[in-house]
Amino acid sequence: MKRILVGIKRVIDYNVRVRVRPDGSGVVTEGVKLSINPFDEIAVEEALRQKEKGVCDEVVVATIGTPDCQTQLRTALAMGADRAILVDAAAAPGPLAVARIFLKLVEKETPILVVLGKQAIDEDNGQTAQMLAALWQRPQATFASRLEILGDTARVTREVDAGLETLEVDLPAVVSADLRLNEPRYVKLPEIMKAKKKPLDTLPLASLGVDVGARVRTLKYDPPAQRQKGVRVGSAAELVAALRSRGVL
């Protein structure tokens, strides 16, 4: 059976204003809406579109985290994914550990394609897809804005500084989704009800035998500095004078 494996992450919803805890130990998550990382939601949508084109027979979504992450997995199932996998972990591991965990899932599921979001909006590392491709020793096409599956190859259009770049990679491969790849579908209530009956497997992290030791240690969280109030000037000459008074010119 041909399948596409999609990785998702549970993050604070992008519409929510993030607040740092008073002691600087992290960000406030209590009473805050948590959702699928937006780039991962785009990855799920793209996998579903490829299935609708007949590229694969099954779409499997996976995440790493606490049992609370089942809510986001159910959302992906409601979008149309066939199965879900939760790797039960007390804390979210770093990008390298996530890549190693997904390598174990790849070995178990043998997908023709792995689709991940290009980055998570909570930490913005943007490393997991590249690390997974290196560990898997398979091609990668990152920051995809268009994806076409042509038999045993994938043609990926990606955005670069000079414009657009088109790559062809052999399958299996790893692709990371950029913002303009697609617009995720709206999930309706009947699909949400159906998703409750779809299979969701839980794997203990210890059963995978993966080293998830932290390579980076976060010492403290600080909110961004308060921005100064803007000043409206009446003319270009007044603007130049204001910049000179501040030592900018």
Domain segments of the chain as ranges: 3-245
Contacts with 226 (C-beta within 8 Å, 6 or more apart), sequence order: none
**pTM for this one?**
0.87
Cα separation, 42 vs 46, in Å, equals: 6
Reference 175, options 128, 226, 210, 207; nearest CA is 128
Cα separation, 159 vs 163, in Å, equals: 6
Strands 200-204 and 163-170: unpaired
Which tokens belong to 218?
């976060």
- Return per-residue pLDDT of the chain as tens, 249 residues: 899 999 999 999 999 988 898 888 888 888 899 999 999 999 999 999 999 999 999 999 999 999 999 999 999 999 999 999 999 998 778 899 999 999 999 999 999 999 999 999 998 889 999 999 999 999 999 999 999 999 999 999 998 888 899 999 999 999 999 999 999 999 989 999 999 999 999 999 999 989 888 788 888 888 888 887 888 888 998 888 888 888 877
Cα separation, 249 vs 243, in Å, equals: 6
At 119, give phi and psi (nearest 5°): -165, 160
Using alpha carbons, list the distances in angstroms from residue 234 to 165, 239, 246.
44, 8, 17
Domain 3-245 has CATH 3.40.50.620: yes
At 157, give phi and psi (nearest 5°): -100, 130
Backbone CA torsion sign across 49, 151, 111, 91: negative
CA atoms within 13 A on the CB side of 213: 2
Q: In 3-state terms, what secondary structure has residue 249?
A: coil
